[in-house]
Structures are given as structure tokens and as C-alpha cells.
Amino acid sequence: MTKPIIAIPADIRAIDGATWHAVQQQYVNAALKASGLMALIVPAMEEGYDIDAILDRVDGVLISGSASNVHPSLYGRQATEADGPFDPARDATSLPLIRRAIDRAIPLLAICRGIQELNVALGGSLDSEIQDLPGRSDHRRPEGTDRDALYAIRQSVFVKEGSCIANFIGAGEVRVNTLHRQAIAETAPRLQVEAVAEDGTVEAVSVIDAKAFAVGVQWHPEYWAETDIASNRLFSAFGDAVRDYAAGKMQAMPVKAIA
């Protein structure tokens, strides 16, 4: 069987006066090398998409991180300049893709902005600038431009016993590279909290009623997916789920009668 294909929704980027649809290489690289999957980048469009037509052609969905934030109007709040930057085309592509992938039992892994999109797609809300909230820590990326330093594994999250991701990376304290300034505020009714930071910030969730792998993490397992054990196990589990879905899809295809 050929390698299964996953969809990764793109971000909108303005480069030299032109509009680009882009995904950071670290996500594509992790999908290929740690999950054994091929990636199809889905352009971000505000309207006109047939989401089922996209999902008919893939075996999984990876929702990546991004510098942009989900627009607050999508979870019932007024937007301020501090909440940005925004990417309405990304919102319009990712949120319905998430909902339909879950409905169709297509494996889903959501990372950083992705976990926030997953929460909003299913009816939850977000907090901005969590470092300014009482009792919360500063989860933002450090200063500098060296990417290995930016994505260094430096924080602890606590994975709950019996949770979905505990099956893959183990329960208890896990060291990760979480760097963000927004986080889940009200958890969507269909989501189960899987892991929290020391300050109580939600760092991982799963979809309670999902019939396939459907997990979101606030940290960045894609960056060290080839070398960090926990990151590799999460991407390996996602790859296995996608291959199982692809195999099931192949078995369900009608066999052409031989004349």
C-alpha cells in the first residue's frame, strides 16, 4: 500500500506584495519522517470549499500551529488589536475541516493553534495573554531567533492517568516545548482534558465521543519528532491511526467484477 496522505490547512502569508498559502516545514517533515505519511497542503479559503471533497481524498488531518490566532468572534467575544494577528481564511478552512473529520472518524492531530481551533470548533473559548492572568505562568516563546532554542524542551506538563495520550507517551510529568500566549479558557463539552501545565493551563485534549484518533496538544511535538521520545510516540500513534483508517477505506472499496 502506498503511504497514506494527510491534509494540513495552510496559513495565509503576504510576501513581497503577493498572497501565499503556506505551512511550516517542521509539520510536513514530522508527518513524513515520524509518522510515515505524505502531506497535502490545503489552501486557506474564506468560502467556496467542499470540505467532504477534501476529506474524501485523504486519510488524516493535521492542524498545525501558526503565528495567527482564532478570531474571537468565533467564540462569542469582541476582538481587540491585542488578540491578533488573525487569519480568517485559515479559520474558515480549519474549523469545518475539524468538525467533519471527527464526524467521519478520520484521524486528527491538532497542534498549538490547532488545539485552540479544535476547542473553538466544538464550542469552547480561549483566553488571550494568559501570562497576565492571576496565578498563571509565562508560556510565551523566549527572545531570540535560534529555532532550536525557541523550541527547546523546557516545561513540564502532567498527563492524566487513563487518558488517551497516556497510552502513547505515558502518564505523569512529561517535559515538552510549549510556547504560546493564548490557551483554552472554557473547554468544549465534547473535549476531555488530557494534560495540564503546572499552573493549570490546558495543554492537551481528546474528543470524548470520537470514533478515531482525535487529539490536540498545545505544545510542539513536531519540532523534535525524530529525536524526543514523547514527541515521536505521539506522531507514531497518529501515523498508525492514519494507516488503519487508510486500510479500512481500501477494504471498503467495491471490487470490480471481472468480465
DSSP 210: -
3-state helix, strand, coil split of the chain in percent (to 5) is 30, 25, 45
Bond preceding residue 107 cis, omega within 30 of 0: no
The count of residues in the chain is: 259
The string of DSSP letters for 33-91 reads: HTS--EEEEEPP-SS---HHHHHTT-SEEEE---SSB--GGGGT----GGG--B-HHHH
Set 46, 71, 222, 226: catalytic member: 222
- Confirm if 54 and 105 have CB atoms less than 8 A apart: no
CA distance 207 to 162: 14
Set 71, 139, 180, 220: catalytic member: 220
Which grid coordinates are listed for 41?
497542503
The count of other CB atoms within 10 Å of the CB of residue 80 is 9
Which grid coordinates are listed for 74?
468565533
180 included as an active-site residue = no
222 included as an active-site residue = yes
Q: How far is CA 24 from CA 27, 31, 60, in A?
A: 6, 12, 18
71 included as an active-site residue = no
Classified as helix, coil or strand, 216 is strand
CA distance 143 to 24: 20
Set 112, 117, 180, 203: catalytic member: 112
Residues designated catalytic: 112, 220, 222
